[in-house]
Chain A
Amino acid sequence: MATIELVPEPAMIKKVIQESRDVKSYVLKLDKSRKIAARPGQFVEVSVQGFGEATFAVTRTSKDGSDFTISVKRMGHLTKMLHRAVRGDMVGVRGPYGNSFPVDAWKGKDIVIIGGGIGLAPLRPIIDHILQHREDYGKLEIIFGARTPEDILYKEDLGIWENDETIQLHTTIDVPFEGWNGRVGVVPVVVKDLALKPDSRVAVVCGPPIMIKFTVAALRELKWSDDRIYTTLEMKMQCGIGQCGRCNIGEKFICKDGPVFSLDQIPEHAL
């Protein structure tokens, strides 16, 4: 029998990582031998039996493709259930779906990754990709903003990136916090402070809607053209394959035609 696209395949939780107060990462491995070959920016649909499905960006794929990681911020009921999961629990997985960041087209360029909170999750595969093909790319700059130090994700990675001489990392928190000696200020302000010039750069922005909106405004103020600014959009999704209807922006479905867009591909109201 042909597979019903909407029915997920079983996957096992291999590892649970508490990233921050309300974000956990899960390393998943499909039960069958199929590998998830997610390109940077793609997402999967993850089901909890009895509780439905939700969409999560693939935030890391192991080198051999045998397992992959998603990061889950606790928002609604499904994420609440997921947060209770432990190693060995089974979930359902469909995907990967969606387009991906045109990392090949970016070869030779300088890349600026701008992530806010859980918005860093879909961007991490780009960083992974660049680090694996370091010679193909120019400078790599990462701006990561979190609300408080307690909301900072991927601390281990941040440590590695911090110490990597080929990466310029700016970690910032929104408001001053006791014991925090790093940068303070919201991402758009940091972008302006750094006065990032377009030059031969490409910027990738992802985070909460308000952060994307103002970061884009900041970049435009710095004379960036829309085709150089990429983002990955989020909307309520369900099927992931462009059929259930709800994630459209105009005629485009985020799940199918996106989620990655450069700003010149989408209308203003999509932001």
Chain B
Amino acid sequence: MKAMRKKIKELFANGDVDVVLGYREDPASGEVKASVFKKDEMLEDMVFDERCVQNLVNYLPTLVARYSKVGIVLKGCDGRSLATQLVEHRINKNQIVALGVGCEGVKVGGKDADKCEDCPTSMSPVTDHEIGDKKQKKDPVFSKVEEIEKMSPAERWKFFAEYFERCERCYACRQICPSCYCEICVADQQEPKWIEPSAKLSANTMWHLIRAYHLAGRCADCGECERVCPQEIPMRLMNNALEKAVHELFGVRPGMDPEELPPLVVLSKEDPDTIMGGKHE
């Protein structure tokens, strides 16, 4: 933490950053929230620990529009998220100073966050400065996905339909997702009405399928969609299912390489046709 504050002070002093996006502990409530730190601000409130769950990358586009240089504190997963944004020309890397911090895992509701289970790296794949350790981790397990895959189709649908039914279409999941940045989301488009605007099972199903599909190969599993969902819809599960799919089918883990194009726009003549067919093992 000391090292981080020191680094940030240095960056401010050198004029390398205008603002730094980080985590602030509210002295009153003790809650940790995303916050934009400015030069003359005390950095004492800045924290980095297991309470820093939120992915800050989502705020970058707004900030880079207002400041020319933005520093950002990144966990491993957030860094993956940033990588996916860079490759899609969402943010100009020159405007970013990426402060990778060795992440020891975060906690949601007092428990280790689910997303940390399959985390591939403690350190952001994109960094300008690295603070703390870099630990590469093993291949993903996707144990929760596998649990679902063991169910019969009807059971699976029952499981998801119950959640889809509850969706209020508040779009918190979309709004917090760095990768959901369409100018006009397909869910907001009136003609053709691929997704009807009203919150009902059929339209909600369309919404969740499309949300998950659009993130396939782009989602870096920051898990924010699920965390912010007021109805606790297991969106990470769907994201993970597709993360597992792109890993198995194309050998890709999104966000691990800031140069790597999303697998769904990569031309591959070598894919076997079997990927389109039948039950997968």
Contacts and interface: CB of A to CB of B under 8 A. Distances in A.
Q: Establish whether A and B are touching in the complex (CB under 8 Å).
A: yes
B187 to A, nearest CB: 16
A190 to B, nearest CB: 35
Contacts of B190: 52, 76-77
A contacts with B: majority SS = mixed
B191 interface: yes
Interface in B148-200: 190-191
Contacts of A76: 190-191
Interface string B189-228: 0110000000000000000000000000000000000000
Contacts of A77: 190-191
Nearest to A78: B191
A180 interface: no
A177 interface: no
Contacts of B191: 51, 76-78
Interface in A116-142: none
B146 to A, nearest CB: 43
Interface string A47-89: 0000110000000000000000000000011100000000000
B contacts with A: majority SS = loop
Interface size grouping (class) on chain A: under 10
Nearest to B192: A77
Nearest to B191: A77
Contacts of A78: 191
A51 B191 CA distance: 8
A77 B190 CA distance: 8
Nearest to A51: B191
B191 to A, nearest CB: 3
A52 B192 CA distance: 12
A78 B191 CA distance: 8
Interface string B35-57: 00000000000000000000000
Nearest to A81: B191
Interface string A10-54: 000000000000000000000000000000000000000001100
A52 B191 CA distance: 10
A54 to B, nearest CB: 10
Contacts of A51: 191
B176 to A, nearest CB: 24
A78 B190 CA distance: 9
A76 B191 CA distance: 9
Nearest to A77: B191
A52 B190 CA distance: 9
B45 to A, nearest CB: 35
B186 to A, nearest CB: 14
A51 B192 CA distance: 9
Interface in B7-48: none
Contacts of A52: 190
B230 to A, nearest CB: 21
A66 B190 CA distance: 33
Interface string A69-113: 000000011100000000000000000000000000000000000
A82 to B, nearest CB: 12
B194 to A, nearest CB: 13
A50 to B, nearest CB: 10
A242 to B, nearest CB: 21
A22 B128 CA distance: 52
Nearest to A52: B190
Interface string B128-159: 00000000000000000000000000000000
A51 B190 CA distance: 8
Nearest to B189: A77
A35 to B, nearest CB: 31
A19 B265 CA distance: 44
A52 B193 CA distance: 11
A4 to B, nearest CB: 17
A34 B260 CA distance: 65
A202 B105 CA distance: 68
A76 B189 CA distance: 11
A99 to B, nearest CB: 28
A255 B190 CA distance: 22
A63 B281 CA distance: 75
A138 B190 CA distance: 47
Q: Which 5 A-B pairs have the closest CB atoms?
A: A77-B191, A77-B190, A52-B190, A51-B191, A76-B191
7 contacts: A51-B191, A52-B190, A76-B190, A76-B191, A77-B190, A77-B191, A78-B191
Interface of B: 190-191
